[in-house]
Amino acid sequence: MKLINYEATRHKLDANKPPCRRTVERMVKRGEFVQPVRITPRRVMFIESEVDAWIEKRKGGKQ
């Protein structure tokens, strides 16, 4: 299991124009994106395989 930070997650979502951190936070809060893992009280990260699966699912719906 590989963990990635917000910056890497944002660039996986769109390398050319990544969404801002706040946009990702809103998506998480609304249940539209994978839930992050809290590492410390001030640090959260995402499981890379879950982010990849979410992206693939979205791509599948657009084709």
pLDDT values of the chain reduced to their tens digit, one per residue, 63 residues? 999 999 999 999 999 999 999 999 999 999 999 999 999 999 999 999 999 999 999 988 665
- From residue 53, alpha-carbon distances to 12, 18, 33 in Å are 11, 18, 11
Q: Which residues are CB-neighbours of 32 under 8 A, at least 6 positions away? A: none
Please give the model's pTM, rounded to 2 decimal places. 0.87
Q: In the numeric block, which tokens belong to residue 28? A: 């998480």
